[in-house]
């Protein structure tokens, strides 16, 4: 009976871990030298309304202004 109880605990723990999806990092882009937020938005969202793309980038990265700097890593908004 003790062995059966231990086996149940092991199986339950293993099953619980299997249900957890591995976390993946969100897609990102690195700001190049001389880039503006509009340059990045145009590059990663070609064909989209540039103002909306800039707003999405600002929201996803909690940017208060419009400035970015070389080497800055920006999180790309994902469709929800």
> Structure tokens of 18?
């299997």
Separation between Cα atoms, residue 4 and residue 35, nearest integer Å: 63
Residue among 52, 50, 28 nearest 39 (CA): 50
End-to-end CA distance of the chain: 48
Q: Please report, in tens digits, the pLDDT of each residue of the chain (80 residues total).
A: 655 554 554 445 544 555 565 578 889 999 999 999 999 999 999 999 999 999 999 999 999 999 999 999 999 998 64
Distance CA 77, CA 28 (A): 9
Strand, coil or helix: 6:
helix
Position 1 scores a pLDDT of 65
**pTM, 2 dp:** 0.67
């Amino acid at each position: 009976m003790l062995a059966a109880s231990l086996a149940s605990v092991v199986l339950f723990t293993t099953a619980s871990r299997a249900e957890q999806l591995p976390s993946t990092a969100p897609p990102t882009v690195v700001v190049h030298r001389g880039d503006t937020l509009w340059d990045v938005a145009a590059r990663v969202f070609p064909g989209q309304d540039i103002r909306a793309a800039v707003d999405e980038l600002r929201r996803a990265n909690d940017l208060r202004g419009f400035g970015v700097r070389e080497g800055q890593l920006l999180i790309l908004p994902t469709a929800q």
